[in-house]
Homo-oligomer: A and B are copies of this chain.
Amino acid sequence: MVIEKDWVVVLKALAHPTRLRIVAELLQGTKCVTSMQDLLPASQANISQHLGILRNARVVDFTQDGAQRCYYVCRPELVGGLLDLLRDAPSPPA
């Protein structure tokens, strides 16, 4: 199987607790940065940094709505599928 470099970028982007929570929240629906601050134990600057990483990985994108940016998961089948697999995965064998 050919391993695409993009795959690693996506996996790296998701391989962080805060970023994984961000995409899980965004799968529920579009959110602006301010509302994410209410959901996550992280500063505004930090959330913005994580969103930048997710944007670079092409995992999320946003629409501008006045001064706000409404983020959403582009490629929701991929991201949602990954989360479904993780959720349904049996616990690792002892």
The interface on chain A, measured as residues whose beta carbon lies within 8 A of the other chain's beta carbons, has a size of: 34
List of B residues within 8 angstroms of A67 by Cβ: none
Q: Do residues B78 and A89 form an inter-chain contact, with CB atoms below 8 A?
A: yes
| Copies of this protein chain in the complex | 2
Q: Which residues of A contact B (CB under 8 A)?
A: 1, 3-8, 10-12, 14-17, 20-21, 24, 27, 58, 61, 74-75, 77-78, 81-83, 85-87, 89-90, 92-93
> Can you report 16 residue pairs joining A to B where beta carbons are below 8 Å apart?
A3-B17, A7-B86, A8-B20, A11-B11, A11-B20, A12-B15, A14-B15, A58-B92, A58-B93, A74-B93, A75-B89, A77-B89, A78-B86, A78-B89, A82-B82, A82-B85
